[in-house]
Homo-oligomer: A and B are copies of this chain.
Amino acid sequence: MSEYSEHDRQGISVGLVEKKFFTFAAPPGELTLESGAGLGPVTLAYETYGRPDPENRNAILILHALSGDSHGAGYYSPQDPKPGWWDIMVGPGKGIDTDKYFVICSNILGSCMGSTGPSSPNPKTGKPYGLEFPLVTIGDMVQAQKKLLDHLGIGRLLAVIGGSIGGMQVLEWAVRYPEMVTAAVPLATATKHSALAIAFNEVARQAIMADPHWNGGDYYSEAKPSLGLSVARMIGHITYLSDEALRLKFGRRLQERHDFSYNFDADFQVASYLRYQGAKFVERFDANSFLYITKAADYFDLGLQHGNGSSVEAFSKTRAKFLVVSFTSDWLYPTYQSKEIVSALKKNGRDVSFLEIEAEWGHDAFLLPSERLTALLQGFLDRVYREL
């Protein structure tokens, strides 16, 4: 398609990309998880954009949020209607410039997007794991990504970058493998979920588990718990937006009709939008993966897991330069949580830059086009590369 090629020629996109898979921990060499359970074999789906430089100094790992995948940028085919999830930021001349850097985007353990998760076949039974899949943690996800980097021959990353649950992985990377992380960019994230974030995740999980089709996680050969997952996604979706975003986007506007239905139809556009988001999500995401990944995020507590309860002590293990970014209207991972990260890093004398970006779109802002964030990332990565 000429329009697509045009984009590509203008450096707007990394162009055609390919999903790759790396499998490790094949029995009997299981991966030992933080819970103590073993898991294997393990497959991670990943993609790469740009090229490694001769000295292997330009690798950047980008990490996705809850429902993301390894498809961070580019298109799978010229007919592909949509590029990867962070195509606005990753590409030639973009915030994460693929003309300069070799970018790896890894899917997470527990996902349903090509990596091993609860919908993968359990080698013991040949059937999908379901709840036989062990609970994985953010640490386990990062441990698996480390194996992928070993496989790719990357001993040191120029930067690890991600938002939300991807940002938790960034923090975990910087603490767990300090010798490998030159720079860390946690966006719209926290060292641990607030009670409010746990509360929303818990209710979303309850919505899934209340669906009789969930069937204790064993639904892969039957009807799926689509209604439950749809409600879970709607709950999540509200928390990714903000009061202001919803007001600007929908306000109290009604669907295309002139008056109230006086029944339980979706009268308001916001209701219709949420129902659509819920229904669309069900087509692409696995309910059990939603349970596992949200639970991993709720469990994440950097200070508890790496610093005897103190995030200051946990960050003492890091060696990276940090760029911490929050967004004004993000009430799921509010700015005060980013400031706690900054404060703990400063107490350790670390090189840390912080910016709170004025944004009305809530938590989702980190995924939306932002000249501010683009310029910030460009400048920060340039500096880190220069200072190597």
Contacts and interface: CB of A to CB of B under 8 A. Distances in A.
Interface of A: 35, 37, 131, 134-135, 192-196, 198-200, 202-203, 205-207, 209-212, 227-228, 230-231, 234-235, 238, 241-243, 246-247, 249-252, 260, 262-264, 266-268, 270-271, 274-275, 278, 291, 295, 298-299, 301, 331, 334
A341 to B, nearest CB: 16
Given A206-B234, A206-B275, 4 more contacts: A192-B252, A195-B268, A199-B238, A210-B227
A238 B268 contact: no
Residue from A199, A291, A299 with most neighbouring chain B CB atoms (10 Å): A199
Nearest to A304: B252
Question: How many copies of this chain are found per oligomer?
Answer: 2
A216 to B, nearest CB: 10
B198 A252 contact: yes
Nearest to A212: B212
A331 B238 CA distance: 13
B235 A203 contact: yes
A37 B35 CA distance: 59
Contacts of A267: 298-299
B270 A193 contact: no
Nearest to A301: B252
Nearest to A269: B195
B206 A262 contact: no
A198 to B, nearest CB: 5
Contacts of A209: 264
Contacts of A211: 210
A299 B260 contact: yes
Contact of A270 (B199, B271, B278): B199
7 contacts: A35-B262, A195-B247, A195-B270, A196-B247, A199-B271, A210-B228, A212-B212
Contacts of A196: 238, 241-243, 246-247
Nearest to A200: B238
Contacts of A234: 199, 202-203, 206
B262 A331 contact: no
For the complex of A and B, list the 10 residue pairs with the smallest distance between their C-beta atoms, beginning with the closest: A195-B246, A210-B227, A202-B271, A135-B262, A35-B262, A203-B234, A196-B243, A195-B270, A195-B250, A199-B238
Contact of A199 (B194, B246, B299): B246
B206 A298 contact: no
